[in-house]
């Protein structure tokens, strides 16, 4: 098999699912075949469930449309967004694997400066399997990388680092700009390949983009909720941002690491800035209050599981953000519903089977 | 002039001094000639003051040896280290310029991946003249750089950034490792050129190396004290680390930015790891307590000048670190002496002449 020569031993083959939200045929997978084919895909079909999504031959996948989501979650399906890529988080919930990689269907294989195709998934796996350094900044970037180390003055007691929960990858070509920046700089392209992976320090928030993102489901999965966006909601394009703020506060509280940097994917086409502006405009002014809220959010010491942290955060959201807009009351309730649904589909206790309702997705 | 064709309009020519601590002839300047010759140099001669340091022809410089330091500072000269590159901070104090660049005499011009000589000073100046982003992380690195911007989800109210006080450059070839790491990895070389400048987020400490460092003297100068190291002191090679912890706490308090990343210099030779171990070993275990001290240090709101912040920090050092070793009482006192000496040589009030004692360094 040609694939075998490219990736002789695909890392974490049986421990990672690739989650793809889509409304169209997945021709983009052809380019990813050498890297993705060994893995299992979870495709979350957004929009009209009667439409057939074509998946290229040879991929191992399960596909869920809105009817499947409604059937599996029942009334709790209300926490999963519709007509917005936020629906992807349903895939995180139904996965049975330890790791998730999620990618948008307009993202292609990028090349490194030497011209070689970048195996984005492999780099994400490396990022997740090696520790983070959230407590002190290492000026030579990832100290665990070959040819690098901790620099003079880095405390030895901190050199074991923290477990990595999230790996945030970047984009060459079309950068992930908001609508106003897209409008002002329609021709800007990201051509700079920065050869670094770094830990986002404890206490620092970042804008997490869901386009090229991997995480450890066991460590942080229940916090990776992409919120209420799109159809029937006053806001869009803040799904990944919302998740990013929540996961960062919780990772900081639980002592987990979040990395950003490599790998790059090639982002092929800019979305329509006028449509984006309509989706984003409330978020653009709401975030001026939301971000200070998350910057000052603290969680009580007795919150030791991701679920506990997330439910506590939902309370604080309801209490402190509902004054901005009634939407946040609805969102806080959806956060609770999300956790209930997560726990229903992911019962704790070793050896417990998944609920039988999960059997038979619409493959 | 050949120089003019390389740097037609050297940036900040009359507003920046280059400070070089040394014990030997400054042949290394030959390689830097195209970049440094337009600027004024302040050379701080360490060790035997009777030794003559040769400076290549054509450079504009003033040179201070220990006798000069003692003459200029009188009893306050006790705060300036001897037989340690920490003595360089005397140069910061006697400068009359707004900006300082300091470099070690074993640092040479590095090449970028295209093979072009890197004008390190020019990059530092760019870093200092453009804002920092300490309050929120930008995943595409410096948002002010050409071809980059703030990404989706970056709050618009934070896009003006903060004034940049410090620019910390990096090193190709010999990395800045501590003695234990030097011993374990004697052959490790830094070959990775990471094409990025980033702001170290508010609340995060970093190991600041003095080898390739620029700063705004007006914004942060009085905190750039390199401590008591070397001759007669129980510790060495922590001069820049000490300054880095202090300036970061004060920059965070005053809302100033600290950047790290580009430019690279070529660090030519590793210092002796056995000698380094002797100098460092107390620092290696002391830093396990010092760093948590600085991580939790807060300054009162009424500290609005760098001097006020620094004196407050010296009190906290005396109070909280003296339990580690009596050295910290001495260091705290030296911090106060440093500020007194700084203020004496740098009287505030527009148009005030520098004290006449400053005239006639031993050029």
Mean pLDDT of the region A7-33: 91
Residue with tokens 């709050």: B155
**Residue B6 pLDDT more than 70?**
no
Mean pLDDT of the region B87-114: 97
- The DSSP symbol for B166 reads E
Render the burial of A299-325: b for 16+ CB within 10 Å, e for the rest: beeebeebbbbbbbbbebbbebbeeee
* Cα(A262)–Cα(A120) distance, integer angstroms: 8
Mean pLDDT of the region B243-264: 98
Mean pLDDT of the region B29-44: 98
> Chain A within 8 Å of B114 (Cβ-Cβ)?
no
Q: What is the pLDDT of residue B270?
A: 74
The pairing of beta strand B257-267 with beta strand B197-199: antiparallel
Q: What is the pLDDT of residue B8?
A: 56
Of B114-118, B217-221, B348-352, give the lowest mean pLDDT range: B348-352
CB contact under 8 A, A207 and B151: yes
Higher pLDDT, A5 or B22: B22
Q: What is the pLDDT of residue B349?
A: 57
pTM here? 0.93
* Cα(B166)–Cα(B92) distance, integer angstroms: 13
> Chain A within 8 Å of B75 (Cβ-Cβ)?
no
**Helix B306-321 to helix B239-254 angle, to the nearest 10 degrees?**
120
* Cα(B290)–Cα(B332) distance, integer angstroms: 13
* Cα(A261)–Cα(A251) distance, integer angstroms: 18
CB contact under 8 A, A148 and B190: yes
* Cα(B323)–Cα(B150) distance, integer angstroms: 45
Nearest one of A173, A16, A169 to A99, comparing CA atoms:
A16
Q: Which residues of chain B are within 8 Å of residue A136 when distances are taken between CB atoms?
A: 204-207, 291
> Chain A within 8 Å of B170 (Cβ-Cβ)?
yes
Give the rounded distance of the alpha carbon of B126 from its chain centre: 16
pLDDT tens profile A253-266? 999 999 999 999 99
Q: Which residues of chain B are within 8 Å of residue A238 when distances are taken between CB atoms?
A: 153
Mean pLDDT of the region A7-22: 87
> Chain A within 8 Å of B284 (Cβ-Cβ)?
yes
Mean pLDDT of the region A7-29: 90
- Which residue in B has a C-alpha nearest to residue A182's C-alpha? B152
Q: Which residues contact B109 (CB under 8 A, 6 or more apart)?
A: B31, B32, B35, B117, B118, B120, B265, B266
Which regions of B153-295 does DSSP assign to beta strands (E)?
164-173, 197-199, 212-216, 257-267
CB contact under 8 A, A141 and B194: yes
* Cα(B160)–Cα(B163) distance, integer angstroms: 9
Average pLDDT over chain A, rounded to whole?
Answer: 93
* Cα(A305)–Cα(A219) distance, integer angstroms: 9
- Please report which confidence band the pLDDT of residue A352 belongs to, taking 50, 70 and 90 as the band edges: very low
Q: Indicate left, alpha or beta for A171 from its phi (over 0: left) and psi (-120 to 50: alpha).
A: beta
Q: What part of A 184-243 touches B (C-beta under 8 Å)?
A: 185, 188-196, 198, 200-209, 237-238, 240-241
Residue with tokens 């405390």: A155
Q: Please provide residue B227's backbone torsions phi and psi, each rounded to the nearest 5 degrees.
A: 75, -170
**Residue A11 pLDDT more than 60?**
yes
Nearest one of B119, B81, B114 to B101, comparing CA atoms:
B119
Q: What is the pLDDT of residue B356?
A: 41
- 3-state secondary structure at position B71: helix
pLDDT tens profile A39-96? 999 999 999 999 999 999 999 999 999 999 999 999 999 999 999 999 999 999 999 9
A177: closest CA of chain B, how far (Å): 4
**Residue A173 pLDDT more than 90?**
yes
Q: Which residues of chain A are within 8 Å of residue B167 when distances are taken between CB atoms?
A: none
- 3-state secondary structure at position B172: strand
- 3-state secondary structure at position B334: helix
Q: What is the pLDDT of residue B139?
A: 98
| B263 preceded by a cis bond (ω within 30 of 0) | yes
Residue with tokens 């453009």: B130
For chain A, give the number of residues: 363
Q: What is the pLDDT of residue A10?
A: 73
- 3-state secondary structure at position B169: strand
User: Could you write out the three-class secondary structure of chain A?
Assistant: CHHHHHCCCCCCCCCEEEEEEECCCCCCHHHHHHHHCCCEEEEEECCCCCCCCCCCCCCEEEEECHHHHHHHHHHHHHHCCECCHHHHHHHHHHCCCCEEEEECCCEECCECCCCCECCHHHHHHHHHHCCECCCCCCCCCCCCCCCCCCCCCCCHHHCCCECEEEEEEEEEECCCCCHHHHHHCCCCCECCCCCCEEECCCCCCCCCCCCEEEEEHHHHHHHCCCCCCECCCCCCCCHHHHHHHHHHHHHHHHCCEEEEEEEEEEECCCCCHHHHHHHHHHHHHHHHHHHHHHHHCCCCCCCCCHHHHHHHHHHHHHHHHCCCCCHHHHHHHHHHHHHHHHHHHCCCCCCCCCCHHHCCCCC
Sign of CA dihedral B331, B332, B335, B337: negative
**Residue B229 pLDDT more than 60?**
yes
Mean pLDDT of the region B199-216: 98
ipTM for the complex? 0.92
* Cα(A169)–Cα(B196) distance, integer angstroms: 16
* Cα(A348)–Cα(B5) distance, integer angstroms: 70
* Cα(A201)–Cα(A258) distance, integer angstroms: 8
Q: Give the up-direction half-sphere exposure of residue A258: CA atoms within 13 A in the CB hemisphere.
A: 28
Q: What is the pLDDT of residue B269?
A: 83
Nearest one of A124, A110, A104, A4 to A44, comparing CA atoms:
A104
The pairing of beta strand A212-216 with beta strand A164-173: antiparallel
Q: Please provide residue B165's backbone torsions phi and psi, each rounded to the nearest 5 degrees.
A: -100, -30
pLDDT tens profile A288-338? 999 999 999 999 999 999 999 999 999 999 999 999 999 999 999 999 999
CB contact under 8 A, A207 and B152: yes
- 3-state secondary structure at position B171: strand
What does the block give as tokens for A149? Answer: 């180390």
- The DSSP symbol for B68 reads H
Q: Give the up-direction half-sphere exposure of residue B215: CA atoms within 13 A in the CB hemisphere.
A: 34
**Residue A148 pLDDT more than 90?**
yes
What does the block give as tokens for B210? Answer: 């003095």
**Residue A1 pLDDT more than 70?**
no
A273: closest CA of chain B, how far (Å): 12
Q: What is the pLDDT of residue A8?
A: 56
* Cα(A301)–Cα(A346) distance, integer angstroms: 24
* Cα(B130)–Cα(B140) distance, integer angstroms: 16
**Residue B72 pLDDT more than 70?**
yes
- 3-state secondary structure at position B235: coil
**Residue B1 pLDDT more than 60?**
no
Partner residue facing A191 (CB), from B147, B150, B178? B147
* Cα(B297)–Cα(B246) distance, integer angstroms: 10
CB contact under 8 A, B190 and A147: yes
Query: Within 10 Å of residue B274's Cβ, how many Cβ atoms?
Result: 10
């Amino acid at each position: 098999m040609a694939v075998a020569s490219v990736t002789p031993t695909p890392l974490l083959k049986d421990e990672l699912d690739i989650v793809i939200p889509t409304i169209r045929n997945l021709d983009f997978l052809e380019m990813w075949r050498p890297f993705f084919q060994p893995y299992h895909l979870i495709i979350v079909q957004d929009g009209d469930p009667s439409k057939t999504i074509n998946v290229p031959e040879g991929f191992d996948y399960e596909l869920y449309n809105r009817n499947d989501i409604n059937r599996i979650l029942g009334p709790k399906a209300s926490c999963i967004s519709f007509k917005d890529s936020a629906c992807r988080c349903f895939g995180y919930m139904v996965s049975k694997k330890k790791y998730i990689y999620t990618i948008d269907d307009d993202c292609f294989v990028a090349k490194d400066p030497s011209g070689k195709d970048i195996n984005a998934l492999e780099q994400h796996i490396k990022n997740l399997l090696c520790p983070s350094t959230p407590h002190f900044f290492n000026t030579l970037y990832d100290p665990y990388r070959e040819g690098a180390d901790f620099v003079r003055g880095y405390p030895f007691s901190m050199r074991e680092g923290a477990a990595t929960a999230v790996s945030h990858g970047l984009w060459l070509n079309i950068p992930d700009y908001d609508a106003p920046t897209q409008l002002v700089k329609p021709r800007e392209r990201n051509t700079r390949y920065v050869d670094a992976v770094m830990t986002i320090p404890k206490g620092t928030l970042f804008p997490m983009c869901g386009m090229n993102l991997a995480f450890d489901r066991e460590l942080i999965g229940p916090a990776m909720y992409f919120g209420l966006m799109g159809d029937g909601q006053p806001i869009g394009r803040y799904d990944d941002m919302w998740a990013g703020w929540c996961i960062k506060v919780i990772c900081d509280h639980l002592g987990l690491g979040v990395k950003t940097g490599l790998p790059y994917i090639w982002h092929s086409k800019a979305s329509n800035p006028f449509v984006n502006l309509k989706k984003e405009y409330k978020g653009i002014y709401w975030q001026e209050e939301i971000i200070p809220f998350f910057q000052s959010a603290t969680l009580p010491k007795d919150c030791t599981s991701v679920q506990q942290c997330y439910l506590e955060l939902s309370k604080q959201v309801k209490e402190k953000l509902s004054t901005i807009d009634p939407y946040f009351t609805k969102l806080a309730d959806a956060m609770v519903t999300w956790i209930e649904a997560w726990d229903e589909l992911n019962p704790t206790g070793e050896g417990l089977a998944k609920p039988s309702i999960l059997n038979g997705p619409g493959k």
